[in-house]
Structure formats: structure tokens, C-alpha cells
A and B are shown apart, each in its own frame.
Chain A
Amino acid sequence: MASMMELGSEEDPCASTFSLVDEDHTLANSLRYILNRDPRVEFCGYSIPHPSENRVNIRIQTTGDPAKDVLKDALQDLMVMCQHIRKTFTNAVDQHKVAKRQGEVSMKSGITEPSTE
């Protein structure tokens, strides 16, 4: 999928622009959000330089840490978040199904139970 290029200077690794090919708002906006939550980040923003080019530039300026490491952490955090949503989602689906089945059973047997909904 995506391939990335870092644009920055070797003297100052705290400020870099990362250019991602074949990505769009989907990834860039959520990355920007998670990066802006990180106190090490002084500035973070993204842009799509041209709408017909499949490229997005993410600018990161940090308070001292290398921008690359901060971006790596942000990616990791987002991965964990995805994992978490996946887990909670499957749990919620299972719970919902169990609750529904219980509701049906109690309706059939005539037992009045407080609604699980």
C-alpha cells in the first residue's frame, strides 16, 4: 500500500514533512488527530497538495524528539485503537445477540424480565 518519504534536514530531526503516496484524508486526518494529542508535538498538520495526485503530506514539528519516532508512536497508538474498537465491537455484537435471545426466551415462557435493551 502506502510508501513514504521523509523530507527534513539532518541537523534538525524535530521537524519533518512525511509524504505518503496512495493515502488520503482517511489515514492522514486520524493521524493528525492522534499526533495533536501527543504533548511532544508542537505542530502537526496535513495537506493534499493536489486533488488528482494520490499523495498526502503530514508536517510534524516536535518539542525535541525526532519527528520520525513520534510518528511511529502515533501509528502504533492508532493500531491499538483499531484493535480495541474491533474487540469492543465484537463483544457488543455478541452481547446484543445474547440479550436478544434471552428476551425471546422469556417472552415465550411468559416470564416477565426487565428489558435488557
Chain B
Amino acid sequence: MDNVSYQRFPTVRIREIKDDFLKFELRNTDASMANALRRVVLAEVPTIAIDLVEIEMNSSVLNDEFIAHRLGLIPLTSERAMDMKFSRDCDACDGDGKCEFCSIEFTLNVKCTSDQTLDVTSHDLVPSDQQYPVYPVGFMERAEYGGYEEDPPEQRGILIVKLRRGQELKLRAIARKGIGKDHAKWSPAATITFQYEPEIHINEALMETLTLEEKKEWVDSCPTKMFDIDANTEQVVVVDAEAYAYDDEIIKKADAMGKPGLVNIISREDSFIFTIESTGALKAADMFLNAIEILKMKLDAVRLSMETEENDDQFGELGAHMRGGL
């Protein structure tokens, strides 16, 4: 091993950070790195979601599996997920996934006794484990509000089913750790995108040959508001370079106006603007940090498997065949 290395040292600048939203710049790296991180956040950062539902009583209009599916999609607070075990490789229980290290139990018991329709929401899911509580998203904030009816819609919880008089829903749900690759319900990301940073160069000399009317026409041809005209100097200025959707509309417009080369747009292929939105299961910043950890674990796993020959056994006959009986 020599000591020369070919890594780069990316830089990060945060633009905006909220619990469920994050926007930052990642510079001095390559699309493969940005894309690896995006893919890991989307499909491999673990969260907790309901995976097993035992229905005791269901006289609602929705059938059992329909309700089980809806329960699975409810985001649960998953700060614990990185420390939890996957129930398939939990040692404490033999894979039945019912121990405290790999599962969280919820109960739901609702019956409609009034003439009004009763909304069963994620707030009706009660975690049985009080030691390491995991809640449906928004469960804790609900305490700040009193009655359900007057609450703002976002505080009313996630609707599971509606019950009419006499209908009842009683069930036990087991939530487990999982990843988005296995089922999208475990994906912590509502959206995660990155874009190249566009660099916009206006050919000022050519721009000056345009009349104010023409300038206006050209500025308005952009479907996203990227340019504007300075009221004082009557010059075209870039107001929001990142609004550019790489649609080429303004370039086509310039060509159509007989002014090719009016603007030159290049994308900086080593700078990325990331936008992450969380489902609420994890904080947006934690999602990204966990993704880095997981990518490192993946790299480590490959490196370790290189040092152990016994992995060849996993390939069985195929491995022996491919190694050509070496």
C-alpha cells in the first residue's frame, strides 16, 4: 500500500435547517458521491414502522389487511432505530420479533358510541413500552391542544379509518426496524434531491443590442423566474440562478430572436445543492448523518470480506465453479 490517495475533501454549507427540512451545498466532490448519499438516505437509513398487526376486532368498513397496510405507512419517531436490531438478526429472541431489542408494541382500541362519525387517527395508537417510547409522528405535540375537533388539521394525527355508531377497531401492532429497500414505509425521506449548481454568464455586449421590449420578452420566456430587469439601469440581471430547470427555454428563445450566445449556462459538476425533506421519523440532519455512517459501514463490510476467505463458502458450488477449482 502506498500513501498516495486520490480522495477529495468536500465542503458543506448549510442554507436552511429545520427539523423536517434541510438545504445545503456540497462542494468539491462528484455526482457518484452525492448520488450514493442520496440513495442511502432514501433506501438504507433505518427507521421504525409497524410491520405486524394482530387484529382482535374489526367491524369498520375497511378490511383487516387494508388497515394493516395503512398502519405500516404511519411514520414513527425513529431516533432509536440506529441502535435497535433488525428482528431477523436479533439474538435475544429467535426471530419472532417480539423482544424489546427489536420491536415496539402498540395497541389501539377504539369504539364509536356516538351518532357522529369517529375518526381513528395515529394518536389512538398507544405504545405499550414506556421505557423507550416510540410514538407516531406528532403524538407528543398533540398534548398542547385540547379537543380534537378544534385542532388545526395538522395536529389531528394521521387518519386510519372512520367509524360509525357501533363499529369497533381493536388491535395490537408490532413495529420493527427496517430499511426503505425492503419496503418504502421504512424510508425516512419524503423527498431527497440534489442538483448541480448552474453558472450563468450573460453576454453583456450582445444584451445591450436588445431593446427594453426585447429584453422583457426574453426575460418572460423563462418558465422559472431566473432573470429580471433592473428598473434603473434597464439591464438584465440574474435573480435566481438555481431556479433554472435545465430546460434550455431561454437559450432557444435567444436563438429564435437571432441572438445565439446571449447567455451561456454551465453546470458546475462538482457542486451540489441538496434538499432533504423528512417524513418526521428522523430529523433531516440526522438522516444525512446516519446515511454517512451506513455508507461507511458498507465500505467496511466489503473491506472485511476481502480479508476472509470463508465468504467463498457462501457462493457454494457457483463459487467453486467460478474460481475454476483453484
Contacts and interface: CB of A to CB of B under 8 A. Distances in A.
Contact of A71 (B30, B293, B300, B306): B306
If over half of B's interface residues share one DSSP class (helix, strand or loop), that class is named, otherwise mixed; here it is helix
A34 to B, nearest CB: 6
A3 B132 CA distance: 34
Interface in A10-55: 10, 19-21, 23-27, 29-30, 32-34, 37-39
Interface string A62-93: 00000011011111111111111110111111
Contacts, number: 136
Interface residues of B, number: 50
A85 B299 CA distance: 15
Contacts of B322: 5, 7, 19
B302 interface: yes
A26 B289 contact: no
B265 interface: no
A101 interface: no
Contacts of A106: none
Output the residue of A23, A32, A38, A93 with the most chain B CB within 10 A: A93
A102 interface: no
Contacts of A1: 297-298, 301
Interface residues of A, number: 51
Contact of A75 (B10, B12, B302, B315): B302
Contacts of B7: 34, 77-78, 80-81, 84
Given A5-B315, A26-B298, A90-B289, A85 B303 contact: no
Contact of A5 (B6, B299, B312): B312
A83 B293 CA distance: 8
Interface stretch (B31-39, B75-83, B244-252): B31-39
A68 B10 CA distance: 26
B36 to A, nearest CB: 4
Interface string B39-66: 1100110000000000000000000000
16 contacts: A2-B305, A4-B305, A5-B311, A26-B43, A26-B44, A27-B295, A33-B30, A33-B33, A37-B6, A71-B306, A73-B2, A78-B7, A85-B26, A85-B37, A92-B24, A97-B17
Given A26-B40, A92-B14, 16 more contacts: A1-B297, A4-B305, A4-B311, A25-B35, A26-B295, A26-B298, A27-B36, A29-B36, A72-B1, A77-B6, A78-B295, A81-B29, A89-B12, A92-B13, A93-B285, A97-B17
Interface of B: 1-2, 5-14, 17, 24, 26, 29-30, 32-33, 35-37, 39-40, 43-44, 285, 288-289, 292-293, 295-303, 305-306, 311-312, 314-315, 319, 322-323, 326
